[in-house]
Amino acid sequence: MKHGMWFVFALLMISAFLFACDEAEDSLKDAVEEWIEGVPDDVSDFLDEDDIKELEELGMDIHTGENPPAVFGDYYLDSLVVEYDTAGNQGLQIVPYDWHYTAPGGRGDLTCSYESDATTGMEDVASGLAGWTSGEGNCFTVYLDFEGNANGCEYKMPMVQSGCLTDEGIADFTIAYVMKDKDELNPACLSMMPIDAKRITVETDKLAESK
């Protein structure tokens, strides 16, 4: 009888061990699926691999790698146009902006801020945006974790920015917006991009000029 009890106990222990192994393997698979190759690990907290792949399929250059250039500085964007938009706003002209990349303020490896050109009469300002950078040589991609509030609509819309540093500024500067979350029941959110929608804007003169 004792042998039988020990046999049952051993079977239970083996089953528990196998279950724990399966759980650990599943957790490892989930972690691998969330990790985006060639991109800083923290980026997977607000973007996933499908987002990055879709942006590439839409024509955006994503510069991966662990040796990006130092992007710090001030840049003027004066010819931004919507190149792709889920809602069909291709060709829309965007007002000029000043963009600033500075040393990190806590999270990320840089901090981004921006403001629309005051002469346009439109006020759009953001500061303290945490960013992570990938790339090689002179070319880079910055991933910005962005949460905002527009007229009472709270939303999460990370930004992805790519380009290559030159003596004059950033060549082929591109900005993508990915709407990850918003309160779809809030009337103030109706004018915002739908969840999972994407917009890509480009500098049509091919240069974000250094200031």
pLDDT in tens, 47-65: 999 999 999 999 999 999 9
Pairing assessment for the beta strands 207-210 and 97-102 based on DSSP bridges: unpaired
In terms of C-beta distances under 8 Å and separation of at least 24 residues, what long-range contacts does 44-48 make, across chains too? Answer: 45/145, 46/143, 46/145, 46/156, 46/158, 46/180, 47/143, 47/158, 47/160, 47/178, 47/180
% of the chain beyond a pLDDT of 90 = 64
Q: Return the structure tokens found at 196.
A: 């999972």
Confidence of residue 8 (pLDDT cuts 50, 70, 90): very low
Asked if residue 73 is part of any domain, the answer here is: yes
pLDDT of residue 33: 44
pLDDT of residue 32: 38
Looking at the domain assignment, is residue 4 inside a domain?
Answer: no
Is 25 contained in some domain?
A: no
Helices (H), the chain: 2-34, 49-57
Give me the pLDDT at residue 106, please.
77
Residue 139 confidence (pLDDT) above 80: yes
For the chain, the domain total comes to 1
| Digit-coded pLDDT (tens) for 96-137 | 999 999 998 778 999 999 998 888 777 788 889 999 999 999
pTM score of the predicted model: 0.81
Mean pLDDT, to the nearest integer, of 178-204?
A: 93
Please give the pLDDT value at position 120: 77
What band does 35 get if pLDDT is binned at 50, 70 and 90?
Answer: low
Which residues, other chains included, contact 114 with Cβ-Cβ below 8 Å and sequence gap of 6+?
A: 97, 98, 99, 100, 124, 125, 126
Least confident of 32-46, 69-83, 156-170, 177-191: 32-46
Higher pLDDT, 13 or 31: 13
In a domain, 77, yes or no: yes
Residue 19 has pLDDT above 70, yes or no: no
Mean pLDDT computed over 57-79: 95
pLDDT at 152: 86
> What one-character DSSP code corresponds to residue 72?
-
**Is 17 among the domain residues?**
no
113 falls within a domain: yes
Is 29 part of a structural domain of the chain? no
Reply yes or no on whether the pLDDT at 201 is more than 70. yes
In a domain, 18, yes or no: no
pLDDT on residue 148: 85
Q: What is the pLDDT of residue 202?
A: 97
- For residue 52, give its domain range: 41-210
